[in-house]
Amino acid sequence: MDKSNIVNVQLQEYQPVSSVERVDRGGWVAFGVNNLFPQYLRELSESSPVHGSLCISIGDMIAGKGITTNVGQERVDGLDVYGQYYAASHDFKKYGGYFVEVIYSNDRKSIAKLRHLPFEECRIAVEGEDEDVIGIYHSEDWANTRKKKNRPTFIPKFNPSMATEEPSQVLWKFAYTSGQIYPNPDYWSAVNYIELERQIGMYHVNNIMNGLFPSFIISFFNGQIPPDQQWDMKRDWEKLLTGARNAGKFLMTFNERETPKPDITSFPLSDADKQYQFLSEESTNKVMIAHRITTPLIFGIRTQTGFGSNKDEMAIGLEIFNNQVIEPAQRLILDGFNEILGFELPNIELTIVPNTPLTTEQAVDVATGAPADVAATALNGAQITSLVDIAMQAAAGAIPVTSAKAIVSAAFPTLGAEQVDAIFNSIVPGSLNPTEVIQSREKKKSFPELTNEEGSAVAEELIALGEDWNEDMILIDTYEVDYETDDAENHELDMITLHELASTGTANPAFPSEQDETIKGKLFMTRYVYRGVLSDNTREFCRKMLAADKLYRKEDIVAMENKAVNKGWGPKGASIYDVWLYKGGGHCNHFWQKAVFMSAKGGNINPRGKDAQSIAVKKAESMGYKVRNEALVAKLPTDMDYHGFLPTNPVWGANGSAYK
């Protein structure tokens, strides 16, 4: 009979935390085991260094540096919208959603206060057999709701039409998660690795505190003992030895001199340092993948791989990360705040001031490489005219060549020193007659002045090319145009526009835009609207454009480049101006707003349905539809260099009198 007996000691087994949902008899939908799943997510972010720092950094990028708006900036600041948006951004990153309480004024005609509610303190409220969502229940501590201060309080969902009956309401937005009421955060697929990173940290700390005591085998020499006693001993030893918190514990046994005692044989873990290094690196990599980190350098983590240089990797990675992670999150969060503020400020559109490790200009310069360097230095027609004029003055001896170089370098910062030298090296001072140069300049200035009637006529010509808002066109996005479109797109568009004008004599609004796309049988249309504030001194051109409220193709706007807009605002005091880039002219406070539509017919959507817009948006995002435009278009001229004037403008240009 074999006197030996081996008992398998089952070490601790990891059980993933579940995000199960169930309706509680209290009227809320419980989230996770014991209704504490959000608290578990918060615990992960507070105990995992990589995951926690990513949640903070990405949350800050989503939050940006501030909020601007097309209307009611003072009101937005007075309600501390950015403070609530900042907290909502971090909740959205950590939990996949956010809650904002709306408290109405006593007369229920305005909003008295906005208050961010921490995600972990809110649970969705339902009623009836169909479990219709009616609001939320709020508690500061769902683990201890028996205390009076923690008893869940009901708050109805946001509905301004019920403001009189419900002085406090709550709005929430969640990232889409199939088959669930509550969202899962975007990093959910890596929760096991986040837990691994946390356990590795606890294990090492406990091991260090206990002198790095090794693992071991325990043998008992008490002969055969009953199985139930063996299992009791097994459980006792498991409690002593298993889990990250028991790393490196030592044992003491008390025995008579001749009494059999347990034999403890330690055995070192082979290549333990390499195994722990592998686990640490593997968990870090998987966590970053789940967070959709395009390059660790964005967050200050260096790696041995990259795009050739750290700067290149940061720029390219940042552009991709912004497009795939930051901007979609910002749009979803802003949708909620726009909906709330629309109660007081109809048609309000909030915009986030970016907060990124690199400026957009730095990212574009590096990410696009050599071809973009050429495009960046390309000058438009007005700039070339100004440059030629400076060169002619140098050739006539009106200004020294060295001064001409300095002026060009200051006025055209995109031109490098070698390019400026190449322009002026062949110029011989005195080779041109100064009188001819002066006459040429006077000729360029002799454009007819633009009266209010003429400005009105120009506006009406552009308005005639516009389209009315069509019921079949479901608006899926509207925002100031993207700052990152490269010059190549505009060059191609200019060529298309010139061809159309030469062949038809005018742009045709009935034609589809070059920026329209048909994806999987669904038509997406991109149009532009002239936006801004109407004031007493608004120019006639801008006044007409704002009143028309038309939709325009980009081609039609660009085609107006050769039309007179506002007297004296063009190159050399001309009345010719680029409406696409500079709107109404210097000091103009208006801008082009992009509006993206989906055709209801092609998308099989009922345009009159209450969820038509949300359905269209989801379909558009699922197909990756995105349009971009160049940097200057979305800027107010007052926010541009030289207040929207050309660098050579005598008053507001690079060396203008306004700065002296």
Rounded CA gap, 499 and 494, in Å? 9
Q: Which residues contact 309 (CB under 8 A, 6 or more apart)?
A: none
Confidence of residue 80 (pLDDT cuts 50, 70, 90): very high
State residue 387's pLDDT score.
Answer: 72
The residue that leads in pLDDT, 458 or 47, is 47
In percent, the amount of the chain with pLDDT more than 70 equals 57
pTM of the entire predicted model: 0.50
- Which of 305-319, 411-425, 515-529 has the least mean pLDDT? 305-319
Domain ranges in the chain are: 35-191, 212-275, 371-445, 452-659
In percent, the amount of the chain with pLDDT more than 90 equals 28
Quote the tokens at residue 628: 């971009």
The residue to which tokens 């007369």 are assigned: 107
State residue 631's pLDDT score.
Answer: 40
pLDDT, one tens digit per residue, over 32-51 is 999 999 999 999 999 888 89
Cβ contacts of 314-319, under 8 Å, gap ≥ 24: 314/357, 314/358, 314/363, 314/366, 315/358, 315/362, 315/363, 315/364, 315/365, 315/366, 315/367, 316/366, 316/367, 317/293, 318/294, 318/356, 318/357, 318/358, 318/363, 318/367, 319/363, 319/364, 319/367, 319/484
The answer, yes or no, to whether residue 311 has pLDDT greater than 50, is yes
- Which of 216-230, 266-280, 357-371, 558-572 has the least mean pLDDT? 357-371
Identify residue 256 by its one-letter amino acid code: E
Quote the tokens at residue 483: 């700052």
If DSSP codes are grouped into helix, strand and coil, which group holds residue 557? helix
State residue 24's pLDDT score.
Answer: 94
pLDDT, one tens digit per residue, over 623-653 is 555 544 434 444 555 666 666 665 666 666 6
The residue that leads in pLDDT, 252 or 493, is 252
For residues 250 and 210, is the Cβ–Cβ distance under 8 A? yes
The answer, yes or no, to whether residue 494 has pLDDT greater than 60, is no
Confidence of residue 89 (pLDDT cuts 50, 70, 90): very high
Instruction: Give mean pLDDT, residues 587-613.
Output: 70
Which residue in 134, 138, 128, 122 sits closest to 182, CA to CA? 122
State residue 428's pLDDT score.
Answer: 72
Give, for 112, the enclosing helix (H) or strand (E).
strand 111-117
The residue that leads in pLDDT, 444 or 514, is 514
State residue 21's pLDDT score.
Answer: 94
Distances in Å between the Cα of 162 and the Cα atoms of 152, 157, 158, 166 are: 22, 10, 8, 6
pLDDT, one tens digit per residue, over 313-330 is 677 788 888 889 999 999
pLDDT, one tens digit per residue, over 374-411 is 344 455 555 666 677 777 777 777 778 887 787 777 76
Task: Supply the DSSP symbol for 640.
Answer: S
Confidence of residue 546 (pLDDT cuts 50, 70, 90): confident
Q: Which residues contact 2 (CB under 8 A, 6 or more apart)?
A: none
State residue 149's pLDDT score.
Answer: 92
The residue that leads in pLDDT, 77 or 512, is 77
> Ranked by mean pLDDT, which of 455-469, 545-559, 590-604 comes out on top?
545-559
State residue 35's pLDDT score.
Answer: 95
Give the strand pairing for 591-599 and 473-480: antiparallel
Rounded CA gap, 443 and 59, in Å? 57
The answer, yes or no, to whether residue 581 has pLDDT greater than 80, is no
Confidence of residue 491 (pLDDT cuts 50, 70, 90): very low
Q: State the alpha helices, DSSP H only, in 179-256.
A: 191-209, 227-241
For residues 71 and 311, is the Cβ–Cβ distance under 8 A? no
The answer, yes or no, to whether residue 132 has pLDDT greater than 90, is yes
Q: Which residues contact 101 (CB under 8 A, 6 or more apart)?
A: 114, 115, 116, 117, 155, 168, 169, 170
Instruction: Give mean pLDDT, residues 486-502.
Output: 38
Identify residue 436 by its one-letter amino acid code: E
State residue 597's pLDDT score.
Answer: 77
Confidence of residue 478 (pLDDT cuts 50, 70, 90): low
The answer, yes or no, to whether residue 657 has pLDDT greater than 70, is no
The answer, yes or no, to whether residue 364 has pLDDT greater than 50, is no
CB-CB neighbours of 475 under 10 Å: 15
CB-CB neighbours of 112 under 10 Å: 14
Identify residue 102 by its one-letter amino acid code: V
State residue 198's pLDDT score.
Answer: 84
pLDDT, one tens digit per residue, over 165-206 is 999 999 999 999 888 999 999 999 999 999 888 888 777 776
Instruction: Give mean pLDDT, residues 79-99.
Output: 97
The chain-wide mean pLDDT, for the chain, equals: 73
